[in-house]
Amino acid sequence: MSETVLYETRGPVAVVTMNRPAVRNAQNAVMTFALDAAFTRALQDDAVGVIVLAGSGDHFSAGHDIGTPERDIHKSFARVSTMWWEHEGKPGAENLFVREQELYLGMCRRWREMPKPVVAMVQGACVAGGLMLAWTCDLIIASDDAFFADPVMKMGIPGVEYFAHPYVMSPRQAKEFLFLGERMPAAEAHRIGMINRVVPRASLEAETLGVATRIAAMPRFGLALAKKAINQAEDRMGLRDTMDATFALHHVAHAHNAMTSTDHLAGQDAKSMAKGLK
């Protein structure tokens, strides 16, 4: 397995760690497929009851890779979550639509449906694409220095690809979150019910592993059924349909950007995105 993602077991808990700390665990395609391989390994191991998703270094994840030397948006890869054809070399909106269907929406939905419980362990930045990863998890435990943001309005985009915003917070809060793109501190995320617990940074790992280990003591199949029950309820509340509908709007925004600026991200990069946002 690539060292972009680390895998270890602590008793009945598999800890899957994003490992690009120098770039705040920016997620490229290599990392996405390494995460998928790590989750698959944990699912197939009967000794593993619960999975913890973590990020190495000071931040959980700053989001999708939009500018490191290892950015790999034009590279082809075998499909895992969809039956779409290769995006590489395809013209116009087709290229990005196909790529993001597989890599972002498809993969996140696939991971949300993992039958074993997954706990996100979040410190520092949990931004945009990082938010998507945390939201696919069943529980989110954060340190008091963690913050959450989806600042893609700066690119003129109505939210990240995995559009769970009006389900993980109220619709009115979701509008403020999207319109302003500002950071939501862990304490506020906890107050509105978006995350389960906030603990001091020094006890984040012990708290997360403690919760994960206690869940892992419960019956495996029962946990899978409980997870499915809640996920089905969210889907009946419209989560899945909302994501499909919003994915189309997301790609109108990408196409509009490509037609009116230098690229599908409205010419923004990691540096310009960080500028001027609270």
**In the complex, which residues of this chain contact Zn ion (CB under 5 A)?**
100
Distance of closest approach, residue 276 Cβ to Zn ion, in angstroms? 21
Q: Which is nearer to Zn ion, 129 or 166 (CB)?
A: 129
Residue-wise DSSP of 8-57? EEETTEEEEEE--GGGTT-B-HHHHHHHHHHHHHHHH-TT--EEEEEEST
Q: Which is nearer to Zn ion, 157 or 215 (CB)?
A: 157
In the three-class reduction of DSSP (H, G, I as helix; E, B as strand; rest coil), residue 257 is classed as: helix
Distance of closest approach, residue 159 Cβ to Zn ion, in angstroms? 10
Distance of closest approach, residue 100 Cβ to Zn ion, in angstroms? 5
- Specify which residues 197 forms β-bridges with: 141
Q: Which is nearer to Zn ion, 100 or 138 (CB)?
A: 100
149 Cβ neighbours under 8 A, 6+ residues apart = 125, 126, 127, 128, 131, 177, 181, 182, 183, 184, 277
Q: Which is nearer to Zn ion, 52 or 160 (CB)?
A: 160
Q: Cα(38)–Cα(47) distance, rounded to whole angstroms? A: 15
Cα–chain center distance at 47: 26
Distance of closest approach, residue 236 Cβ to Zn ion, in angstroms? 26
Q: Which residue number is nearest to Zn ion in terms of Cβ?
A: 100
